[in-house]
Protein backbone atom coordinates (compact mmCIF):
# COMPACT_ATOMS: atom_id res chain seq x y z
CA UNK A 1 0.00 0.00 0.00
CA UNK A 2 2.72 2.40 1.00
CA UNK A 3 4.73 1.34 -2.04
CA UNK A 4 1.74 2.21 -4.18
CA UNK A 5 1.37 5.64 -2.63
CA UNK A 6 5.09 6.33 -2.89
CA UNK A 7 5.25 5.35 -6.53
CA UNK A 8 2.22 7.45 -7.42
CA UNK A 9 3.61 10.43 -5.55
CA UNK A 10 6.97 10.16 -7.30
CA UNK A 11 5.25 9.81 -10.61
CA UNK A 12 3.00 12.78 -10.02
CA UNK A 13 5.84 15.01 -8.90
CA UNK A 14 7.84 14.10 -11.94
CA UNK A 15 5.09 14.89 -14.41
CA UNK A 16 2.94 17.49 -12.75
CA UNK A 17 5.64 19.91 -11.67
CA UNK A 18 7.04 20.42 -15.19
CA UNK A 19 3.51 20.64 -16.48
CA UNK A 20 2.75 23.41 -14.02
CA UNK A 21 5.89 25.15 -15.22
CA UNK A 22 4.41 25.05 -18.70
CA UNK A 23 6.57 22.31 -20.20
CA UNK A 24 5.13 20.21 -22.99
CA UNK A 25 5.81 16.53 -23.53
CA UNK A 26 8.48 17.51 -26.04
CA UNK A 27 10.13 19.87 -23.57
CA UNK A 28 10.23 17.03 -21.11
CA UNK A 29 11.66 14.65 -23.68
CA UNK A 30 14.35 17.13 -24.68
CA UNK A 31 16.11 16.26 -21.43
CA UNK A 32 16.71 12.74 -22.67
CA UNK A 33 18.09 13.30 -26.13
CA UNK A 34 21.61 14.24 -27.14
CA UNK A 35 22.99 17.75 -27.24
CA UNK A 36 22.47 17.93 -30.98
CA UNK A 37 18.92 16.61 -31.22
CA UNK A 38 16.55 18.53 -33.46
CA UNK A 39 12.85 19.10 -32.91
CA UNK A 40 11.88 15.96 -34.76
CA UNK A 41 14.21 13.77 -32.72
CA UNK A 42 12.85 15.31 -29.54
CA UNK A 43 9.29 14.74 -30.69
CA UNK A 44 10.04 11.13 -31.53
CA UNK A 45 11.66 10.67 -28.16
CA UNK A 46 8.56 12.07 -26.44
CA UNK A 47 6.39 9.58 -28.29
CA UNK A 48 8.78 6.72 -27.61
CA UNK A 49 8.93 7.54 -23.89
CA UNK A 50 5.14 7.81 -23.87
CA UNK A 51 5.07 11.36 -22.51
CA UNK A 52 2.03 12.19 -24.63
CA UNK A 53 -0.12 9.53 -23.02
CA UNK A 54 -2.41 10.36 -20.10
CA UNK A 55 -0.69 10.00 -16.73
CA UNK A 56 -2.87 7.03 -15.80
CA UNK A 57 -1.73 5.14 -18.87
CA UNK A 58 1.91 5.96 -18.14
CA UNK A 59 1.57 4.86 -14.57
CA UNK A 60 -0.24 1.72 -15.67
CA UNK A 61 2.67 0.94 -17.96
CA UNK A 62 5.07 1.28 -15.04
CA UNK A 63 2.98 -1.02 -12.85
CA UNK A 64 2.63 -3.50 -15.69
CA UNK A 65 6.40 -3.59 -15.96
CA UNK A 66 6.64 -4.58 -12.33
CA UNK A 67 4.17 -7.43 -12.65
CA UNK A 68 4.58 -8.56 -16.24
CA UNK A 69 7.88 -7.17 -17.46
CA UNK A 70 8.77 -4.94 -20.36
CA UNK A 71 9.96 -5.54 -23.90
CA UNK A 72 12.56 -3.16 -25.17
CA UNK A 73 14.30 -2.49 -28.42
CA UNK A 74 18.00 -2.24 -27.65
CA UNK A 75 19.02 -1.79 -31.27
CA UNK A 76 19.94 -5.04 -32.90
CA UNK A 77 16.93 -6.76 -31.36
CA UNK A 78 14.22 -6.86 -28.71
CA UNK A 79 15.00 -7.91 -25.19
CA UNK A 80 12.61 -8.77 -22.42
CA UNK A 81 13.09 -7.24 -19.03
CA UNK A 82 11.39 -9.83 -16.83
CA UNK A 83 9.08 -8.94 -13.95
CA UNK A 84 9.68 -7.23 -11.60
CA UNK A 85 10.98 -4.75 -14.16
CA UNK A 86 11.55 -1.19 -13.00
CA UNK A 87 12.09 -0.04 -16.57
CA UNK A 88 15.11 1.47 -18.28
CA UNK A 89 16.92 4.67 -17.46
CA UNK A 90 16.03 7.55 -19.76
CA UNK A 91 19.63 8.69 -19.67
CA UNK A 92 21.96 5.70 -19.52
CA UNK A 93 19.41 3.31 -21.05
CA UNK A 94 20.45 0.67 -18.55
CA UNK A 95 17.76 -1.44 -16.88
CA UNK A 96 17.13 0.02 -13.43
CA UNK A 97 16.73 -3.10 -11.30
CA UNK A 98 20.13 -4.67 -12.12
CA UNK A 99 21.70 -1.26 -11.48
CA UNK A 100 20.07 -1.15 -8.06
CA UNK A 101 21.00 -4.73 -7.23
CA UNK A 102 24.54 -3.97 -8.33
CA UNK A 103 24.75 -1.04 -5.93
CA UNK A 104 22.90 -2.63 -3.07
CA UNK A 105 25.89 -4.50 -1.56
CA UNK A 106 27.77 -1.22 -1.28
CA UNK A 107 24.99 0.54 0.54
CA UNK A 108 24.40 -2.55 2.67
CA UNK A 109 28.07 -2.75 3.62
CA UNK A 110 28.18 0.93 4.40
CA UNK A 111 24.95 1.11 6.36
CA UNK A 112 25.34 -2.11 8.33
CA UNK A 113 29.00 -1.48 9.13
CA UNK A 114 28.29 2.05 10.24
CA UNK A 115 25.31 0.81 12.23
CA UNK A 116 27.51 -1.59 14.18
CA UNK A 117 29.98 1.19 14.90
CA UNK A 118 27.42 3.73 15.96
CA UNK A 119 25.39 1.36 18.08
CA UNK A 120 28.47 0.09 19.89
CA UNK A 121 29.96 3.52 20.43
CA UNK A 122 26.75 5.45 20.84
CA UNK A 123 25.15 3.09 23.31
CA UNK A 124 28.26 2.45 25.37
CA UNK A 125 29.07 6.16 25.51
CA UNK A 126 25.51 6.86 26.53
CA UNK A 127 25.63 4.22 29.27
CA UNK A 128 28.97 5.44 30.63
CA UNK A 129 27.82 9.05 30.48
CA UNK A 130 24.69 8.19 32.40
CA UNK A 131 26.56 6.21 35.04
CA UNK A 132 29.13 8.96 35.44
CA UNK A 133 26.64 11.73 35.12
CA UNK A 134 28.19 15.17 35.44
CA UNK A 135 31.73 13.82 35.21
CA UNK A 136 34.37 15.07 32.79
CA UNK A 137 33.75 12.05 30.58
CA UNK A 138 30.05 12.82 30.48
CA UNK A 139 30.59 16.44 29.50
CA UNK A 140 33.26 15.62 26.96
CA UNK A 141 31.27 12.89 25.27
CA UNK A 142 28.12 14.95 25.18
CA UNK A 143 30.13 17.82 23.67
CA UNK A 144 31.53 15.53 21.01
CA UNK A 145 28.04 14.17 20.46
CA UNK A 146 26.78 17.68 19.85
CA UNK A 147 29.54 18.19 17.29
CA UNK A 148 28.59 14.88 15.72
CA UNK A 149 25.02 15.81 15.05
CA UNK A 150 25.90 19.35 14.02
CA UNK A 151 28.72 18.81 11.53
CA UNK A 152 27.71 17.95 7.99
CA UNK A 153 29.12 14.74 6.61
CA UNK A 154 30.68 16.27 3.53
CA UNK A 155 32.75 18.32 5.96
CA UNK A 156 33.71 15.59 8.42
CA UNK A 157 34.16 13.21 5.49
CA UNK A 158 36.62 15.34 3.56
CA UNK A 159 38.41 16.32 6.75
CA UNK A 160 38.80 12.71 7.84
CA UNK A 161 40.06 11.75 4.39
CA UNK A 162 42.59 14.56 4.51
CA UNK A 163 43.78 13.58 7.96
CA UNK A 164 43.63 9.81 8.10
CA UNK A 165 44.38 8.98 4.51
CA UNK A 166 46.47 11.81 3.12
CA UNK A 167 48.31 13.08 6.19
CA UNK A 168 48.62 10.07 8.46
CA UNK A 169 48.27 7.32 5.88
CA UNK A 170 46.31 5.19 8.32
CA UNK A 171 44.01 3.87 5.64
CA UNK A 172 45.18 2.85 2.24
CA UNK A 173 44.33 4.62 -0.95
CA UNK A 174 42.12 2.14 -2.69
CA UNK A 175 39.24 4.17 -3.89
CA UNK A 176 37.31 1.70 -5.95
CA UNK A 177 34.80 -0.62 -4.44
CA UNK A 178 35.82 -4.19 -3.66
CA UNK A 179 33.17 -6.63 -2.45
CA UNK A 180 33.62 -8.38 0.86
CA UNK A 181 33.58 -11.77 -0.81
CA UNK A 182 36.53 -10.80 -2.97
CA UNK A 183 38.88 -9.24 -0.49
CA UNK A 184 37.60 -8.58 3.03
CA UNK A 185 40.65 -6.57 4.02
CA UNK A 186 40.43 -4.10 1.17
CA UNK A 187 36.70 -4.00 1.66
CA UNK A 188 37.13 -2.93 5.27
CA UNK A 189 39.99 -0.60 4.43
CA UNK A 190 37.78 1.18 1.91
CA UNK A 191 34.89 1.44 4.28
CA UNK A 192 36.44 2.19 7.63
CA UNK A 193 36.45 5.97 7.16
CA UNK A 194 32.92 6.12 5.75
CA UNK A 195 31.75 3.88 8.57
CA UNK A 196 33.29 6.02 11.23
CA UNK A 197 32.22 9.28 9.65
CA UNK A 198 28.67 8.15 9.15
CA UNK A 199 28.59 6.52 12.56
CA UNK A 200 29.85 9.77 14.12
CA UNK A 201 26.73 11.47 12.88
CA UNK A 202 24.44 8.82 14.31
CA UNK A 203 26.40 7.73 17.39
CA UNK A 204 25.82 11.17 18.79
CA UNK A 205 22.07 10.78 18.71
CA UNK A 206 22.28 7.30 20.18
CA UNK A 207 24.59 8.42 22.95
CA UNK A 208 22.18 11.15 23.90
CA UNK A 209 19.17 8.90 23.68
CA UNK A 210 20.85 6.10 25.62
CA UNK A 211 22.10 8.50 28.26
CA UNK A 212 18.67 9.96 28.81
CA UNK A 213 17.09 6.52 28.83
CA UNK A 214 19.66 5.11 31.24
CA UNK A 215 19.26 8.04 33.61
CA UNK A 216 15.56 7.33 33.67
CA UNK A 217 15.83 3.57 33.90
CA UNK A 218 18.49 3.51 36.59
CA UNK A 219 16.15 5.34 38.94
CA UNK A 220 13.40 2.78 38.39
CA UNK A 221 12.25 0.64 41.29
CA UNK A 222 13.20 -2.60 39.57
CA UNK A 223 16.82 -1.50 39.42
CA UNK A 224 16.73 -1.11 43.21
CA UNK A 225 15.20 -4.57 43.38
CA UNK A 226 17.97 -6.00 41.25
CA UNK A 227 20.56 -4.47 43.55
CA UNK A 228 18.70 -5.74 46.61
CA UNK A 229 18.91 -9.23 45.16
CA UNK A 230 22.68 -8.86 45.33
CA UNK A 231 23.33 -8.63 41.60
CA UNK A 232 26.79 -7.35 40.68
CA UNK A 233 26.59 -3.77 39.41
CA UNK A 234 27.61 -4.76 35.88
CA UNK A 235 24.65 -7.11 35.65
CA UNK A 236 22.36 -4.49 37.09
CA UNK A 237 23.44 -1.99 34.44
CA UNK A 238 23.54 -4.29 31.45
CA UNK A 239 20.84 -6.84 32.11
CA UNK A 240 18.32 -4.69 33.89
CA UNK A 241 19.13 -1.11 33.02
CA UNK A 242 20.26 -1.31 29.42
CA UNK A 243 17.69 -3.85 28.42
CA UNK A 244 14.87 -1.47 29.25
CA UNK A 245 16.65 1.48 27.66
CA UNK A 246 17.12 -0.37 24.41
CA UNK A 247 13.51 -0.29 23.33
CA UNK A 248 13.44 3.37 22.26
CA UNK A 249 16.97 2.97 20.90
CA UNK A 250 15.81 0.04 18.84
CA UNK A 251 12.90 1.97 17.42
CA UNK A 252 15.18 4.77 16.35
CA UNK A 253 17.68 2.27 15.01
CA UNK A 254 15.12 0.60 12.81
CA UNK A 255 14.02 3.86 11.27
CA UNK A 256 17.57 5.11 10.78
CA UNK A 257 18.78 1.90 9.25
CA UNK A 258 15.77 1.68 6.96
CA UNK A 259 16.39 5.20 5.74
CA UNK A 260 20.10 4.56 5.29
CA UNK A 261 19.56 1.40 3.29
CA UNK A 262 17.54 3.51 0.92
CA UNK A 263 20.81 5.30 0.25
CA UNK A 264 23.35 7.08 2.43
CA UNK A 265 23.32 9.97 0.01
CA UNK A 266 25.88 12.32 1.48
CA UNK A 267 28.31 9.68 2.69
CA UNK A 268 28.33 7.84 -0.59
CA UNK A 269 28.86 11.07 -2.51
CA UNK A 270 31.58 12.27 -0.18
CA UNK A 271 33.51 9.02 -0.23
CA UNK A 272 32.80 8.25 -3.87
CA UNK A 273 31.05 5.01 -3.00
CA UNK A 274 28.84 3.97 -5.90
CA UNK A 275 25.90 2.85 -3.76
CA UNK A 276 22.19 3.49 -3.90
CA UNK A 277 22.55 6.96 -2.43
CA UNK A 278 24.98 8.08 -5.09
CA UNK A 279 22.69 6.52 -7.66
CA UNK A 280 19.79 8.51 -6.23
CA UNK A 281 21.69 11.77 -6.49
CA UNK A 282 22.60 11.12 -10.10
CA UNK A 283 19.06 10.03 -10.87
CA UNK A 284 17.60 13.20 -9.45
CA UNK A 285 20.21 15.42 -11.09
CA UNK A 286 19.39 13.81 -14.42
CA UNK A 287 15.62 13.92 -13.91
CA UNK A 288 15.80 10.23 -14.69
CA UNK A 289 12.31 9.08 -13.73
CA UNK A 290 12.79 5.30 -13.94
CA UNK A 291 15.89 5.54 -11.77
CA UNK A 292 14.17 7.88 -9.32
CA UNK A 293 11.20 5.51 -9.14
CA UNK A 294 13.54 2.61 -8.56
CA UNK A 295 15.39 4.36 -5.78
CA UNK A 296 12.24 5.61 -4.06
CA UNK A 297 10.68 2.19 -4.16
CA UNK A 298 13.84 0.58 -2.83
CA UNK A 299 13.96 3.09 -0.02
CA UNK A 300 10.30 2.55 0.73
CA UNK A 301 10.77 -1.22 0.81
CA UNK A 302 13.63 -0.87 3.26
CA UNK A 303 11.73 1.51 5.48
CA UNK A 304 8.75 -0.81 5.55
CA UNK A 305 10.97 -3.81 6.23
CA UNK A 306 12.85 -2.00 8.96
CA UNK A 307 9.62 -0.96 10.64
CA UNK A 308 8.27 -4.46 10.44
CA UNK A 309 11.42 -5.91 11.95
CA UNK A 310 11.41 -3.29 14.69
CA UNK A 311 7.81 -4.12 15.51
CA UNK A 312 8.64 -7.80 15.68
CA UNK A 313 11.73 -7.18 17.78
CA UNK A 314 9.77 -4.90 20.01
CA UNK A 315 7.54 -7.81 20.90
CA UNK A 316 10.58 -9.97 21.56
CA UNK A 317 12.15 -7.40 23.83
CA UNK A 318 9.11 -6.11 25.67
CA UNK A 319 6.68 -8.87 26.71
CA UNK A 320 4.03 -6.29 27.44
CA UNK A 321 3.44 -5.63 23.74
CA UNK A 322 3.31 -9.30 22.87
CA UNK A 323 0.10 -10.55 21.35
CA UNK A 324 -1.48 -13.18 23.52
Partner 1 sequence: MSESPFLDVKDLKIHFSTDDGVVKSVDGLSFSLERGKTLGIVGESGSGKSVTSLGILGLHRGKSANVSGEIWLDGEDLVTASQEHVRRLRGRKMAMIFQDPLSSMHPFYSVGDQIIEAYRIHHKVSKSVARKHAIDMLGRVGIPEPKRRVDSYPHEFSGGMRQRAMIAMALSCDPELLIADEPTTALDVTVQAQILDLMRDLQREFNSALIIITHDLGVVAELSNDILVMYAGKCIEYGSAEDIFYRPEHPYTWGLLGSMPRLDREPTERLLPVKGTPPSLINVPSGCAFHPRCPYSDQTDGQSKAEIPALINTDPGHLVRCHLSRTQRRTLWENEVKPVLETQ
Partner 2 sequence: MKIRSTASAVAITAALALVVSACGGGGSAKKTGGSGAEAPASQYNAGVTQVVNPSDKTGGTLHMGMPGDFDSVDPGDQYYGYAWNFSRLYTRALTMFKPVPGKEGLELVGDLAEGLGKASDGGKTWTYTLRKGIKFEDGTPVTSKDVKYAVARSLDKEILPSGPTYFNDWLDNGDYTGPYKMKDKLDSWKGIDTPDDQTVVFHLKKAYGGFDYFAMLPSTAPVPAAKDTGTKYKEHPVATGPYMFKAHELGKRIELVKNPNWDAATDPNRKQLNDSVEVLLGQNEDDLDQRLLSGKIDVKINSTGVGANARKTVLTDDKVKQYADSAPLDRTWFTNLNADVPPLDNVHCRKAVLYAADRSAIQGAYGGPDAGGEVALSLMPSKMTGYEKNDLYGVEANPGGDVNKAKEELKACGQPNGFSTTISFRVERAAEKQTAESLQQSLGRVGIKLEVKGFPQGDYFKLYAGKPDFAKKNGLGLMVYGWGADYPEGFGFFQQIVDSRVIRAAGNTNLGVKDPEIDKLVDQAAAEQDATKRNSIWASVDKKVMDDAFILPYVWAHGLFYRPPTLKNAFISQNFGMYEFLTLSTQ
Site residues, partner 1 (CB under 8 A): 220-222, 224-232, 240, 243-244, 317-320
State the DSSP H helix or E strand holding residue 71, giving kind and residue range, or none if neither. strand 69-73
Could you say which of partner 2, partner 1, none residue 99 binds, taking C-beta under 5 to 8 angstroms by partner kind? partner 2
Asked whether 287 and 92 are in contact (CB, 8 A), the reply is: no
**Comparison of 81 and 310: residue with beta carbon closer to partner 2:** 81
**Cβ proximity to partner 2, 168 vs 323, nearer residue:** 168
Selection from partner 2, partner 1, none that 282 binds (CB < 5 to 8 A by kind) is partner 2
Nearest to 131 by CA among 223, 6, 69, 67: 223
Q: Is 69 helix (H, G, I), strand (E, B) or coil?
A: strand
Residue 321: C-alpha distances to residues 234, 248, 290 (Å) = 27, 14, 40
Give me the residues that bind partner 2 (CB under 8 A), please. Answer: 21-23, 27, 30-39, 41-42, 44-45, 48, 73-77, 92-94, 99, 102, 139-140, 142-144, 146-147, 150-151, 155-156, 158-159, 161-163, 166-167, 169, 173, 175-177, 269-272, 274, 278-279, 282, 287
- Chain-centroid distance, C-alpha 217: 31
CA distance 297 to 4: 9
Closest approach of partner 1 to the CB of residue 215, in Å:
14
Q: How far is the CB of 270 from partner 2 (least distance, A)?
A: 5
Q: Which does 92 bind (CB under 5 to 8 A by kind): partner 1, partner 2, none?
A: partner 2
Cβ 307 to partner 2, closest distance in Å? 30
Euclidean distance between CA atoms 163 and 157, whole angstroms: 10
CB distance 231 to 240 below 8 Å? yes
- Our CB check for partner 1 shows the closer of 48 and 229 to be 229
310 binds, among partner 1, partner 2, none (CB under 5 to 8 A by kind): none
| Interaction partner, residue 166 (partner 1, partner 2, none; CB < 5-8 Å by kind) | partner 2
Instruction: Give the DSSP letter string of 229-243.
Output: TT--HHHIIIIIIIH
Find all residues with CB under 8 Å of 42, minimum gap 6, and list them.
Answer: 26, 29, 30, 33
243 binds, among partner 2, partner 1, none (CB under 5 to 8 A by kind): partner 1
Amino acid sequence: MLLFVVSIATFAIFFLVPRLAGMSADDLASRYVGKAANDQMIHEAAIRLGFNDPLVVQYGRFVKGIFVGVDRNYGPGIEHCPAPCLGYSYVTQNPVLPDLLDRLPITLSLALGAAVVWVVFGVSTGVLSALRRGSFFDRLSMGVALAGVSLPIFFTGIVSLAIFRDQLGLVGDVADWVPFSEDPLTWANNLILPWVTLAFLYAAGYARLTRAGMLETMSEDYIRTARAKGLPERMVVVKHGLRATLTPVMTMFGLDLGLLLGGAVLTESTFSLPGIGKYAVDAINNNDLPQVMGVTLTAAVFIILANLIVDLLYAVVDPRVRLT
